[in-house]
Amino acid sequence: MGTKLAIIMKESIPFICHEISTMTSPKPTILITELFGSLVLPIAEHFNMSKFVFWPSSAWNVALSLHTPTLDKVVEGEFTDQEEFIQIPGCNPISPCDLFSPFLDRNDQLYHEYLPMCEELRKVDGIFVNTFLELEAKTILALRSGKIYKVPIYPIGPLIREAKKQNCDDENRDYVIDWLDKQEEESVIYVSLGSGYTMSHEQIKEMALGLELSGKKFVWSLRPPSTKAGNDRYLTAGEDAGSNGVPKTRASVSAFPDEFHKIQNRGLVIMDWAPQLEILKHSSIGVFVSHCGWNSILESVSCGVPIVGWPLFADQLMNAETMAKEIGIGIRLNVAQSTKVVGSEEIGKTIWKIMDKEDIEGCAMRKRVKELKHIAEKIWSQDGPSFCEMTNAFVKMSHTNGV
């Protein structure tokens, strides 16, 4: 997909140039793209425009991309064969096996598309990053020190979609919120591994056993292992669908392992688009088992919910490291190397540790995420740090451009 996106962006250049040239009154003065769009940025010079990138992921990932042209020169052989951690000046190092897909094969086209994007990133007038200082202080300070590469960095996050604008129908939303209203404060686990992943039969079994071991109630956003969910949405309490207005579940239910059926009466299973932000905002949620997509991390932070990290692909492994080591609001699960499955004990004990009121580390993570929540609440108020960062960037740019 990354390669396709890069090609689409390059082929779009003539059309984007045409569109910009038709904008005459007023003339546009800034071109803002995201990373894949950075391949379009050279046209900004032709139109005398400033060049900015909006970065929807972590500051640490910005640091990696800015450092990549240097790594390309100094690292010999494949990144994945390196025995040492990959170092980025001033930032937390990373294990080569946590690097995202462009680094997996230096001969692959994806790497050859990614490298020029990183070169373009070095030439911009500024990078708006969906993060904030207190979240990634170490990395943001390293980026601002110029040790990695001198590019102005503007942390303008957390930018998250309003709950009502998430793509979930009202019937589903009301059902899950009513169920959560009946639960005790910070007692429920929310599990969602993103929209692009279907668990294997084996993994669903381990997850179900893990949830059982945790002894807690749960909301689990899940697709059946091998059949399509069709119109099925929620599955609750061993009930065979429809008895209390719950949308019916049929064939797909039989695709789940027995371990899953055993625990159904302790939770709510969502087989459709979950109202994630509203679930996370609910006071009954105590922990989020997440694939560590950056938006999910930011939403969890904004709601003050600690995370059990279960990264799957793309930048998620790197995000999980940032979440656990730099931000300090959760724990990353270990995947058994022999089976590539996360075991039930690992799931159960990690959830327990984070939710346990007596556990010192768990308490520290919960305290930290609540502090970040309070900071995030005020960050976009007038004169709040992210508002000021954005304003400063444009003021600086308008002085440079004389606009």
Among the listed residues 60, 101, 57, the one whose alpha carbon sits nearest the alpha carbon of residue 79: 101
Instruction: Please identify which residue in 57, 214, 284, 344 interacts with ligand UPG, judged by CB under 6 A.
Output: 57
Does residue 293 bind ligand UPG (CB under 6 A)? yes
- Which among 257-265, 308-316, 331-339, 342-350 is the span making contact with ligand UPG, rule CB under 6 A? 308-316
Does residue 164 bind ligand UPG (CB under 6 A)? no
Q: What distance, in Å, lies between the first and last C-alpha atoms of the chain?
A: 38
Phi, psi of 236, deg, nearest 5: -130, 160
- Which among 85-93, 108-116, 121-129, 187-195 is the span making contact with ligand UPG, rule CB under 6 A? 187-195
Tell the smallest beta-carbon distance from residue 248 to ligand UPG (Å). Answer: 19
CB neighbour class for 44 (10 Å; exposed up to 12, middle 13-18, buried from 19): buried
Instruction: Please identify which residue in 28, 29, 56, 116 interacts with ligand UPG, judged by CB under 6 A.
Output: 56
Distance in angstroms (rounded) separating the CA atoms of residues 175 and 181? 10
Instruction: Please identify which residue in 82, 166, 198, 227 interacts with ligand UPG, judged by CB under 6 A.
Output: 166
Evaluate whether 31 touches 50 at the Cβ level (below 8 Å).
yes
Evaluate whether 341 touches 202 at the Cβ level (below 8 Å).
yes
> Which tokens is 282 given?
């609910």
DSSP 196-247: T----HHHHHHHHHHHHHHT-EEEEE---SSS--TT--EEETT--SSTTSPP
Tell the smallest beta-carbon distance from residue 281 to ligand UPG (Å). Answer: 11
Q: Residue 38 or 221: which CB sits closer to ligand UPG? A: 221
Site track 220-259 with ligand UPG (rule: CB under 6 A), x = hit: -x--------------------------------------
Instruction: Please identify which residue in 252, 276, 302, 350 interacts with ligand UPG, judged by CB under 6 A.
Output: 276
Does residue 60 bind ligand UPG (CB under 6 A)? no
Evaluate whether 199 touches 341 at the Cβ level (below 8 Å).
no
Evaluate whether 318 touches 94 at the Cβ level (below 8 Å).
yes
Residues in the interface with ligand UPG (CB under 6 A) total 22
> What residues contact 245, with CB distance under 8 A and at least 6 apart?
175
Distance in angstroms (rounded) separating the CA atoms of residues 190 and 267? 10
Does residue 342 bind ligand UPG (CB under 6 A)? no
Closest-CB residue for ligand UPG? 293
- Which among 9-17, 209-217, 294-302, 378-386 is the span making contact with ligand UPG, rule CB under 6 A? 294-302
Tell the smallest beta-carbon distance from residue 159 to ligand UPG (Å). Answer: 11
Instruction: Please identify which residue in 65, 131, 296, 300 interacts with ligand UPG, judged by CB under 6 A.
Output: 296
Residues that bind ligand UPG (CB under 6 A): 56-57, 161, 166, 192, 194-196, 221, 273-274, 276-277, 293-296, 299, 314-316, 319
